[in-house]
Chains A and B, each alone.
Chain A
Amino acid sequence: SAVISQKPSRDICQRGTSLTIQCQVDSQVTMMFWYRQQPGQSLTLIATANQGSEATYESGFVIDKFPISRPNLTFSTLTVSNMSPEDSSIYLCSVEGETAGQPQHFGDGTRLSIL
């Protein structure tokens, strides 16, 4: 399966600032996904990033707050903008399975704390 690397692995940020999280995959993939995992809650899809087009956001998530870039088939970034303590969470990148019908694979996530 694809090897997914996320940077940074963790960070502590001040409220009102922004942080960009990077996701690098060791093979070319069409679809990349960004999830949020808040304490005591299930993984929630933020958006789907398809190379060459605008990201598709899920209900409750907006581009101004979570801008996403997808410059090529192996890389994506998620920015968490104007952060507040409620944004403290684990942010996870995932990619499609190798073949149709194969489940997604995840990186190890970015643990973000907002003071």
Chain B
Amino acid sequence: QKEVEQDPGPLSVPEGAIVSLNCTYSNSAFQYFMWYRQYSRKGPELLMYTYSSGNKEDGRFTAQVDKSSKYISLFIRDSQPSDSATYLCAMSFSGGYQKVTFGIGTKLQVIP
């Protein structure tokens, strides 16, 4: 069993839809949870990060962490064609100095 499970997709949605991206994990010691966005031929770009459980909102993006279920989500409201990318969930035991474990990434396509 992988430490972090993520559906690779692809996921196609119409413009304006609400997108839900999810990851599950097996190690309850993870404390930091991140979402990266990766456009084609580019490196991962940090989108959001949270510490421990709870919600965090930034514009059209909301990250949720449910540690009791070992489940994290990223919601994108009013999705745009520019949101078309691969979304990687990631997590670590502590902050930026430490090893980060990534999901495989979900490829999202927002259709105009």
Contacts and interface: CB of A to CB of B under 8 A. Distances in A.
Interface in B29-53: 32, 34, 36, 41-46, 49, 51
Interface of B: 2, 4, 6, 8, 32, 34, 36, 41-46, 49, 51, 88, 90, 92, 94-97, 99-105
Give the interface SS of chain A, mostly helix, strand, loop or mixed: loop
A108 interface: yes
A58 B42 CA distance: 24
A92 interface: yes
Given A43-B44, A106-B43, A96 B97 contact: yes
Interface in A91-115: 92, 96-97, 100-109, 111
Interface residues of A, number: 26
Contact of A41 (B46, B96, B104): B104
Contacts of A41: 104
16 contacts: A4-B43, A40-B104, A42-B4, A43-B90, A44-B102, A97-B95, A100-B95, A102-B96, A103-B32, A103-B92, A103-B95, A103-B96, A104-B96, A105-B46, A106-B44, A108-B42
Contacts, number: 68
Contacts of A96: 96-97
B25 to A, nearest CB: 12
Nearest to B88: A43
A111 B41 contact: yes
A19 interface: no
Contacts of B36: 106
Contacts of B102: 42-44
Contacts of B49: 102-103
